[in-house]
Amino acid sequence: MSRADWKRVGGYGAAACCAAYGSMKLAQALGAGALADKDPLPPGLRERLLARDPLFVTSHWVLAGAAAVGVVVALATVRPRKAAFPRRLLPAIAWTLGIFMIARSAGALGFGFVGDALVLAGVSSVPAEHAALAHDLARWDLLLWSPFFLLWGACWTAAVWRPRRSVGAER
């Protein structure tokens, strides 16, 4: 697959991930429980989320809007260079989002493959009254959310990847 094909797959993949995530957040903002009970949050925040606390409802609207903007940005990566974004802004946004999402999937932000594996292996201490919930959420995060964020981050970075050419390759 050529570099242009990878960039196109990355751009369309990032747009599709934005649309999927935004659709879920929009559904949650409108009152659906679409995977809300699988969100890896501490117990107190989780209760507020499931009780439809106004802060969480507002955050769902904001995230749905951000995802819609993300679709536009992702699709701009597959457009010709005459896009409406300044030349260096689009790669900076895509790289930042990609690295953030990959870090989240790995566990650098508290959730992710490493943190989930530590909880499931019993290495991370979890309050006894929340142990069953913590294990359930860690399994969901390990099998759904972390792979999704890894894919999404990989798509963002592939959309703007520009490998450096070696001096001998330019001839």
pLDDT tens by residue, 80-128: 665 566 778 889 999 999 999 999 999 887 789 999 999 999 898 888 8
Q: Is 117 a domain residue?
A: yes
Could you list the residue range(s) of the whole structural domain that residue 77 is in? 3-161
C-alpha gyration radius of the chain? 19
Confidence band, pLDDT 50/70/90 cuts, at residue 148: very high
Average pLDDT over residues 127-144: 90
Task: Specify the higher pLDDT residue, 135 or 166.
Answer: 135
Q: What is the pLDDT of residue 167?
A: 53
Kindly state whether residue 167 falls inside one of the protein's structural domains: no
Q: Is residue 153 part of a domain?
A: yes
Is 79 domain-assigned?
yes
Judge whether 166 lies within some domain.
Answer: no
What is the reported pLDDT for 39? 84
25 lies in a domain? yes
pLDDT at 130 over 60: yes
CB-neighbour burial class of residue 153 (10 A; exposed 0-12, middle 13-18, buried 19+): buried
Residues 6+ apart with CB under 8 A from 119: 126, 134, 135, 138
pLDDT of residue 152: 98
Residue 171 has pLDDT above 60, yes or no: no
Question: 2-50: per-residue pLDDT in tens?
Answer: 877 889 999 999 999 999 999 999 999 999 987 888 888 888 888 888 8
The model's pTM: 0.86
**pLDDT of the residue at 22:** 96
User: Domains in the chain: how many in total?
Assistant: 1
Phi first, then psi: give them for residue 123, nearest 5 degrees. Answer: -75, -45
Let me know if residue 26 belongs to a domain. Answer: yes
